[in-house]
């Protein structure tokens, strides 16, 4: 079965600084999803990556998929308090979003003012 490992597990960043979260898969990545979660709440969809080398950006968040390394990274530029939360990467076995997702344990991001 596929396993996703996220690093770091937690991150404390001063407001305005940049940061990167990584997600490494034990198997080939066909579809990689990034979600954000506030404690005890539902997941907010951020981005979906499906092709090797694909890169997507939304506001100050950029995600990349390195298919060869079976890895994805999420980069936040000029962090703000609103970026605080738990970031989760998820993957499906076949790509296309039709399958149940396997998730990493999450990266807990704290933004210090």
Partner 1 sequence: DAGVTQSPTHLIKTRGQQVTLRCSPKSGHDTVSWYQQALGQGPQFIFQYYEEEERQRGNFPDRFSGHQFPNYSSELNVNALLLGDSALYLCASSREFYEQYFGPGTRLTVT
Instruction: Spell out the alpha helix ranges (H) of 23-80.
Output: none
Examine residue 105 and tell whether it contacts partner 1 (CB under 8 A).
yes
CB of 113 to partner 1, least distance (A): 25
- Among 8, 26, 45, 81, which residue sits at the site for partner 1 (rule: CB under 8 A)? 45
CB of 22 to partner 1, least distance (A): 15
Furthest C-alpha separation in the chain: 41
Residue 20 CB-half CA count within 13 A: 7
64's tokens: 């990349």
- Regarding 44 and contact with partner 1 (CB under 8 A), the answer is yes
Using CB under 8 A, which of 40, 68, 82, 113 touches partner 1?
40
Which among 108, 111, 113, 112 has a CA at the least distance from the CA of 37? 108
Query: Beta-carbon neighbour count of residue 90 at 10 Å?
Result: 19
16, 53, 81, 97: residue in contact with partner 1 (rule CB under 8 A): 97
- List residues binding partner 1 (CB under 8 A): 1, 4, 33, 35, 40-45, 48, 88, 90, 96-106
């Amino acid at each position: 079965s596929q396993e996703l490992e996220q690093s770091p597990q937690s991150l404390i960043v001063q407001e305005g600084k940049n940061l990167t979260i990584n997600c490494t898969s034990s198997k080939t990545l066909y579809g990689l999803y990034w979600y954000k979660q506030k404690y005890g709440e539902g997941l907010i969809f951020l981005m979906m990556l499906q092709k090797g080398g694909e890169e997507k950006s939304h506001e100050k968040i950029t995600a990349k998929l390195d298919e060869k390394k079976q890895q994805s990274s999420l980069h936040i530029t000029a962090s703000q308090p609103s970026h605080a939360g738990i970031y989760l990467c998820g993957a499906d076995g076949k790509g296309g979003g039709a399958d149940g997702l396997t998730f990493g344990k999450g990266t807990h991001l704290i933004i210090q003012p």
